[in-house]
Each structure stands twice: as C-alpha cells, then as structure tokens.
Amino acid sequence: MPRGTGAKSSGGNGRRGPDKIKRKRSCFRRPSKSASAAENPNPFTARNVSAGNEESSSSSPSSLPPQPSPSPASSPSPSDARHTFVKEYLHTLIKELKEQLRQEKGALYDHLKRGHTTIEPVNPVIACFTSGLNPEHFWKPALRCWLPKLWFPELDLKCPKCHQFGKHHKHGYASNPEARCVAGLRNDWYLFTSVLQCAFCRHRFYATHPDVLGNMHQAFSNPILLPFVLSESSGLDSDVAWMMPIIFNDGGTAESLHRMMSEGHAEQRDLLHAVYNAVCDFRLKKSVGLPDPPKFDRSQVDVSVPAASSLLSIYKRETLRYEKYMNLHMLTLSAESAKLDASHKMPKLICNVNGQRIFDTAVQVTNERSQIVALVLNMLFRQLSLKVLPPCHDYTTTR
C-alpha cells in the first residue's frame, strides 16, 4: 500500500500522511447515565434525576447546560396511573395475608379459618363518616380466597399433568398474578389461591386449574363454594355464567352480553362517584372548617370486561361440562333406570359413557324377578355403592 502524502487538493494521493494531526474531538462530554435513572424506565423520573445531576455539575466547564424543569403540562397524565390504587391495595393485603397464613395466626387467618371465603372492605359510606372523606374507600375491591388445604386437608385433587388423585402438598401461593380479576355484571372482585405440588410427579399447579376444579366432587365443585368460572385469559362470576343460556336461547349474542356488562360497570362507576360527592356535600354542610376532600379519580375504577369471544368460549366450555356431568351422574345415580333394567344392560352402559370407560368393574345384585337390587361400581380404587329402592322412594348412595 503506498504511503499517504496528504489531500489531493494539496498535491497528495488522498491518504493521511504520517505527520497528519489527529482529529480534534469535542470538548463537551456526554454525562453518564446515573444508576437510578437506568433502573427507572419512567421518562419523567429519569428526566428529573438527570436534570438534578447536571445542575450539581454545572460549575465545571465540561458540563452541559442544565435542562429546564418539566412544566405541569408535561407531567404524567392520570391515565398513566390507571388502577394503581387497586394494585397497591391488593398487593399490600395479599402480602399480609400470606404472612398470616405462614404463621397460622392473625385477624385475616382467623377470619378464613372460621369459614369465611371473602375479605370484604368496609362499607365506603360508613368509612367516610368514621375514617374521614377519602375516595379510596370506594375503590377497594373484595378478595375471595380458594385455599383447599386450609379448609379441606383430606380432599383428593386430580393432578392436571399425571391425572392422579391424591392429597397433594401445598407449595406456596399464586404470584403471577397474585389475584385474578373476576368480572361480574356490575363490578369486579379478585380471586386469591394457593399453589399445590403433586405427590406423584412433583408437578406444581394452581388450585384453580380448570382440570382440578372440573374433576372435584360435586360437594366442592359448585357455585355455592366456588362462584366463578375461569378461563386462560379471563374470569367470570357464576351469576353471569348462569344468565348465559337464558340470554343466548332468547336470541341474545355474546356481543349483547358484553355490551350489557360494559354498561353495568360504567353505571356502577358513575354511582360510586355520585355517592361520594353526596357524602362530601353532606359532611361539609354539617361540619364547618373541614378541608376540601380529595377529588374522585374515575380512572381508578376499572370498567373493562371480558371480550365477547371470551364470553362465548366460557359458555361453550360450561355447556360441554354440564352435558358431561348430566350424562355421568344421571346414569350412575338413576335408581329407577337400574331397577327396571331386566336385561342387565344398564351396568354396561354406566361403565362406558360416550365411548369412555368410566368405571373399572360393576357388580350387580338381582332378586328373584331378575331386577337389579344393588349396584356396586369401582373406579380408581374407590367404590360407589348404589342401592336401588322402590319407585316411591329416593335413591341413596354410600362412598
């Protein structure tokens, strides 16, 4: 490679020569990003932190001029902090609840141990008169708990991976998310549950897994104990799920149900706002010298509901589950059908429902008229005895 002799305009070959002066750099240095600004991705917080650093180093000649402080117009809008109060309230409540469950003592633990499944906040109107005017009383949601190992230690649950029934071990509590939102017709509430570990395959799963809830005994899998229906992306109150067949059979659609729930949530938000303003007017007229109460932030009330596609998916899944329940339980517990079965085809039909083998063996006892008197069904090392009574009596089962 030829040696550089300088620029062509000076008679050189266009290459830098050995005596070329090095290129001068700018005397201004870019300020290094502080650790606090790097950890906080919020542009408003990062801007304030960097401006403070520049002001402290403005005396040096190599520093940049300080940035102007952000104007009120550039401050974070209320929409950037939507539902922050509900998230912080639930996080604090669940953190305290987990600690009391670990220590097995405390007011929340005693409340659940007595058989209560819901942690209800104080009535917002009463709280405004006893604890002062604050719109936060109207934003606190209810927290419902499903902790099977706390109330039913001997309950056998089905592992969703290995499909084995057993008394699985408790392995902590839900963390992602800490509580699932369950949408009702007018307002929402949240569900908190525990994490279980299978005693056979060591698989960890939530106690609210659909396969776990769907394979529990009817004494536990019912809307009285579990008033919710969960899907992968949303949760629905059992009252709304109960309304679905009526709405759809009368010509309604999932979009109309979605619109009904959206209007109900919006009306509930407006009602909370109006009641809070009425309470403030009453307190300010009765008491002289009270400071102005905080304003009601409507963005803190969540009015979003599951999409119409999610509602339709939940309806189809619940319909299939109900049909399976009817096929299984109506055949296994129909004493009248078993009593009138002289051909003894009913035990075979019971053992095989919809092409799936339900019971391993079926032992029947007949009388002198070849009528089935008793039927013993064996399934997964569990025995279900069905005693057939006369038509004027009801059937009885023993486990």
Global pTM value: 0.63
Q: What is the pLDDT of residues 155-164, one digit of tens each?
A: 888 898 888 8
Residue 352 contacts residue 379 (beta carbons within 8 Å): no
pLDDT of 10? 61
- Assign 313 a pLDDT band (cuts: 50, 70, 90): confident
Q: Which of 279, 297, 332 is the last residue of a domain?
A: 332
- Over residues 217-237, the mean pLDDT reads 86
151 assigned to some structural domain: yes
pLDDT of 351? 61
- 109, 220: one domain: yes
- 155, 302: one domain: yes
223 assigned to some structural domain: yes
Q: Is the pLDDT of residue 132 over 60?
A: yes
- 121, 237: one domain: yes
**Minimum mean pLDDT among 167-181, 356-370, 375-389: which range?**
375-389
- 301, 393: one domain: no
- 291, 187: one domain: yes
- Assign 354 a pLDDT band (cuts: 50, 70, 90): low
117 assigned to some structural domain: yes
Cβ-based neighbour number of residue 301 at 10 Å: 24
Q: What is the pLDDT of residues 168-179, one digit of tens each?
A: 888 888 887 889
69 assigned to some structural domain: no
pLDDT of 324? 65
pLDDT of 350? 59
Residue position matching structure tokens 């542009």: 43
71 assigned to some structural domain: no
- 162, 261: one domain: yes
Structural domain tally of the chain?
A: 2
User: 309 lies in which domain range?
Assistant: 81-332
How far apart, in whole angstroms, are the C-alpha atoms of residue 322 and residue 316? 10
- 95, 209: one domain: yes
pLDDT of 392? 37
- 312, 216: one domain: yes
Residue 196 contacts residue 171 (beta carbons within 8 Å): yes
- 247, 363: one domain: no
Q: Which of 278, 300, 332 is the last residue of a domain?
A: 332
121 assigned to some structural domain: yes
Structure tokens that stand for 269 in this block? 């938000």
- 259, 389: one domain: no
13 assigned to some structural domain: no
41 assigned to some structural domain: no
- 171, 122: one domain: yes
Q: Is the pLDDT of residue 389 over 90?
A: no
| 365, β-bridge pairs | 374
Q: Which of 314, 332, 350 is the last residue of a domain?
A: 332
pLDDT of 222? 85
pLDDT of 231? 81
Mean pLDDT of the chain: 74
- Over residues 118-124, the mean pLDDT reads 94
How far apart, in whole angstroms, are the C-alpha atoms of residue 110 and residue 146? 15
- 232, 321: one domain: yes
- Over residues 230-258, the mean pLDDT reads 88
Q: For the chain, where are the alpha helices, taking DSSP H only?
A: 35-39, 43-56, 84-103, 107-113, 124-130, 148-151, 210-214, 238-249, 254-286, 308-332, 335-339, 346-351
**Minimum mean pLDDT among 54-58, 343-347, 367-371: which range?**
54-58
